[in-house]
Amino acid sequence: MYSEKVMDRFKNPKFSGKMENASAVGEVGNMKCGDVMKVYIKVENNILVDVSFETFGCVAALASSDYLCEIAKGKTLEDAEKITSEDVLKVMGDVPQVKVHCSVLAQEALKKAIKEYKNKIFRI
């Protein structure tokens, strides 16, 4: 059902865990499937110097979150905002069609974190 690559990332995530002193956090959920994702970002000089996640969900949800963090780390805020669910799927490889929404949730959580960060920075 899942590729070896996806299963390996599920079993051995590289970016899992709550980030202390995060610059911002984005949280999203899907009521239909029950997946909940939090993406933490640490921003310095407009660059995502660290990204991590906490995800409650299925294999695809955890793998999507982890791969998203891998893609986003080191990018500018502007480049990170351009990450799409298709970008996540390209890195993940094959996932069942019914699980594609997990990649959408992951990129939505990142965008929400970036929006929260910008709101903090640009408040008057």
For this structure, is 33 an active site residue? Answer: yes
For the chain, what is the radius of gyration of the CA atoms?
14
For this structure, is 69 an active site residue? Answer: no
Selecting among 16, 27, 33, 91, the annotated active-site residue is 33
Residue located via tokens 């890195």:
91
Give bridge partners of residue 51 from the DSSP assignment.
41
Task: Give the whole-angstrom CA distance, residue 44 versus residue 23.
Answer: 9
Selecting among 41, 48, 102, 113, the annotated active-site residue is 102
Is 61 strand, coil or helix?
helix
Return the active site residues.
33, 102
